[in-house]
A and B are shown apart, each in its own frame.
Chain A
């Protein structure tokens, strides 16, 4: 059966200027750093695609471009056939994006914030209340829904951020390190939720450096190093009979020229 491609990334490039201070820290004379360098991948509908790579590999930058927060220097990204630069508003309607850099106003309560973002997506009251009850109950926010976000624990804050990114029940979920900083129980709630969303036909792209998470929930994986896609494909094909962690380090050493 032919699968529908919902996310199509071609020759994606992104550079950032670096300050003199950063130049000193990184011991480089280069004024520009290539964050993403010719990245290409596709994600089929109903799949979970994991972007795996060390810190600074370009995972978050790629996801920020997918979510239309920043623009590529070169290349194209199509989401459900929509170009992220020309149809950015419609793309935003179809995706749910979560990253550590997106914060919620600490003064408001989860209840108010959920309603506010639901209104931003023009969701009617009945649908909103139903979804709010469902998500709040699922993530244990219901007991804290009237507590100011500032007064919530770090884990609870992250759960509220996650729930807020899903107010509109998006078809494509883009999560940047979704279990980072969460305790094991909350992390399991999140992974179980993602599997459930996949079963509901949602497409999920997540970045992580947790191998077990990728092995557990991803169908396809892309390994990124220095902004380049080094390997991409089905998990089984990439593992090649090894554990994903072993395979990753094998690739890493080969690319970086380091001995184990």
Chain B
């Protein structure tokens, strides 16, 4: 055991004491994620806010009485062109052509042309009995210009709202839709969940984070294990270690455990970056907070699972690295494994409805991904965690023994 600890200490020292490596492995991943995600969040937020603040210049020809409230809309600066001005087709054509010209020079964002007697036509029209086509509203705009494009979208939404309102046959949770400000209280009436906000936040986290967590831990294991196994082999320092009387299995175990710790720290750094930047990325308010959504038990279980995952990934990467001739070879060989693990990360969606079967939690990697998903969604059972950890520990033990055997194989260790 002393030898295992001695090797672990040496491996960790190498990563911790070398400021460059320490920065690259422990600080940079989290910092990069935080900076990039935050920047993306700010960029999206400013775009949305800009859109919200925008006032669109619109000309409306033959404004229907039922839609006169468009004039009061704060997002629209409406110029009305009444029916008298467009009595003949020629006059309409002149007005439309002028408006088109203004749109193309960005002096106007859109022109909306309602047909004559729009209100009457709409009220008389029946989807089932009318033989004619329904009234057609024409909106001219230019997708080339952001404001014009957004103006089109905005007007389209308002008209669709009006269309829905006039053909309204039934409501869903009417009280919930009365007022946006009352939504929370009215939701309580229909949504039977005890922690409604938590449940929705957990849903967001459980759909986003398992893949990220698994991939980050894997990339941490990837970086640390390739450097330590094939890097040492390449530099000739592995042979120096193998000539000592320490059991090869102890060397393998010492390396796997220390590299797992490094992978966990690297993964946690990235994870911290995600957690801190997620509210910014999602342009969310205070309610999308990771820390207030999960309890101590969730954190502890998550760390246990992350540690198990790190050990497993490190063992797998170490074995693949052992067969490689150099670090570059190892990275090439590990590329398919990265894709496989990313693929398995979508397993919770594929196994939907089956994730209660305990046998599923005995399958390495798959169990980790499902359990992480369940921790984030708050739907895990303790037995599932226990089975996952036991299965992973057994798997790591077997892989460590196999790695020890590989260290005994001169063709593998001295193949450069």
Within 8 A of A (CB), among B236-264: 236-237, 239-247
* B348 nearest CB across to chain A (Å): 41
Does A116 have its Cβ within 8 Å of any Cβ on chain B? yes
Inter-chain contacts of A90 with B (CB < 8 A): 245
Does B97 have its Cβ within 8 Å of any Cβ on chain A? no
Does A117 have its Cβ within 8 Å of any Cβ on chain B? yes
Inter-chain contacts of B2 with A (CB < 8 A): 119, 122
B245 and A92 form a contact (CB under 8 A): yes
B10 and A69 form a contact (CB under 8 A): no
Q: How far is it, in angstroms, between the C-alpha of A119 and the C-alpha of B243 when the chains are bound?
A: 14
Bitwise interface map of B from 218 to 237 toward A, beta carbon under 8 Å scored 1, else 0: 00000000000000100111
B interface, how many residues as a size bin? 20 to 34
Bitwise interface map of B from 372 to 416 toward A, beta carbon under 8 Å scored 1, else 0: 000000000000000000000000000000000000001000100
Does A127 have its Cβ within 8 Å of any Cβ on chain B? no
Inter-chain contacts of A105 with B (CB < 8 A): 10, 14, 232, 235, 237
Q: How far is it, in angstroms, between the C-alpha of A120 and the C-alpha of B18 when the chains are bound?
A: 23
Which of B13, B14, B18, B243 sits near A67, CB closer than 8 Å?
B243
Bitwise interface map of A from 54 to 90 toward B, beta carbon under 8 Å scored 1, else 0: 0000000000000111110000000000000000011
* A195 nearest CB across to chain B (Å): 24
Number of chain A residues whose Cβ lies closer than 8 Å to a Cβ of chain B: 26
A102 and B236 form a contact (CB under 8 A): yes
Bitwise interface map of A from 89 to 109 toward B, beta carbon under 8 Å scored 1, else 0: 110110001000111111110
Q: How far is it, in angstroms, between the C-alpha of A27 and the C-alpha of B329 when the chains are bound?
A: 29
Q: How far is it, in angstroms, between the C-alpha of A116 and the C-alpha of B10 when the chains are bound?
A: 8
A120 and B3 form a contact (CB under 8 A): yes
Within 8 A of B (CB), among A117-134: 117, 119-122
Inter-chain contacts of A68 with B (CB < 8 A): 243
Q: Which residue of B lies closest to A101 (CB)?
A: B236
Q: Which interface residue of B235, B239, B243 has the most chain A CB atoms within 10 A? A: B243
Does B66 have its Cβ within 8 Å of any Cβ on chain A? no
Answer whether A117 and B236 are a contact pair too, CB < 8 Å, given A70-B410, A107-B14.
no
B242 and A69 form a contact (CB under 8 A): yes
Does B105 have its Cβ within 8 Å of any Cβ on chain A? no
B237 and A104 form a contact (CB under 8 A): yes
Bitwise interface map of B from 3 to 43 toward A, beta carbon under 8 Å scored 1, else 0: 10010001001100110000000000000000000000000
B243 and A97 form a contact (CB under 8 A): yes
Q: How far is it, in angstroms, between the C-alpha of A90 and the C-alpha of B245 when the chains are bound?
A: 7
Inter-chain contacts of B245 with A (CB < 8 A): 89-90, 92-93, 120-121
Inter-chain contacts of A117 with B (CB < 8 A): 244
* B282 nearest CB across to chain A (Å): 41
Q: Which residue of A lies closest to B6 (CB)?
A: A119
A104 and B243 form a contact (CB under 8 A): no
Q: How far is it, in angstroms, between the C-alpha of A101 and the C-alpha of B242 when the chains are bound?
A: 12
Inter-chain contacts of B14 with A (CB < 8 A): 105, 107-108
Answer whether A69 and B410 are a contact pair too, CB < 8 Å, given A101-B236, A103-B235.
yes
Inter-chain contacts of A112 with B (CB < 8 A): 13
A103 and B246 form a contact (CB under 8 A): no
* B275 nearest CB across to chain A (Å): 32
Which of B13, B17, B232, B239 sits near A101, CB closer than 8 Å?
B239
Q: Which residue of A lies closest to B246 (CB)?
A: A120
Q: Which interface residue of B2, B14, B235, B245 has the most chain A CB atoms within 10 A? A: B245
Inter-chain contacts of A92 with B (CB < 8 A): 243-245
Inter-chain contacts of B414 with A (CB < 8 A): 69-70
Inter-chain contacts of B241 with A (CB < 8 A): 120
Inter-chain contacts of A69 with B (CB < 8 A): 239, 242-243, 410, 414
Bitwise interface map of A from 1 to 35 toward B, beta carbon under 8 Å scored 1, else 0: 00000000000000000000000000000000000
Q: How far is it, in angstroms, between the C-alpha of A70 and the C-alpha of B243 when the chains are bound?
A: 10
Q: How far is it, in angstroms, between the C-alpha of A90 and the C-alpha of B18 when the chains are bound?
A: 34
Which of B6, B17, B237 sits near A120, CB closer than 8 Å?
B6
Q: Which residue of B lies closest to A94 (CB)?
A: B245
Which of B18, B239, B410 sits near A102, CB closer than 8 Å?
B239
Q: How far is it, in angstroms, between the C-alpha of A70 and the C-alpha of B242 when the chains are bound?
A: 11
A102 and B10 form a contact (CB under 8 A): no
Q: How far is it, in angstroms, between the C-alpha of A113 and the C-alpha of B236 when the chains are bound?
A: 15
Inter-chain contacts of B244 with A (CB < 8 A): 92, 117, 120-121
Q: How far is it, in angstroms, between the C-alpha of A112 and the C-alpha of B169 when the chains are bound?
A: 81
A-B contact pairs, 22 of them (CB 8 A): A69-B239, A89-B247, A92-B244, A101-B236, A102-B240, A103-B236, A103-B237, A103-B239, A103-B240, A104-B240, A106-B235, A107-B14, A108-B13, A108-B14, A112-B13, A116-B10, A117-B244, A119-B2, A119-B3, A119-B6, A120-B6, A121-B244
Instruction: Return the 6 tightest CB-CB contacts between A and B, nearest first.
Output: A103-B236, A93-B245, A92-B245, A120-B244, A102-B240, A70-B410
In addition to A89-B245, A103-B236, 12 A-B residue pairs with Cβ atoms within 8 Å of each other are A70-B414, A71-B410, A97-B243, A102-B240, A103-B237, A104-B240, A105-B14, A105-B237, A108-B13, A116-B6, A119-B2, A120-B245
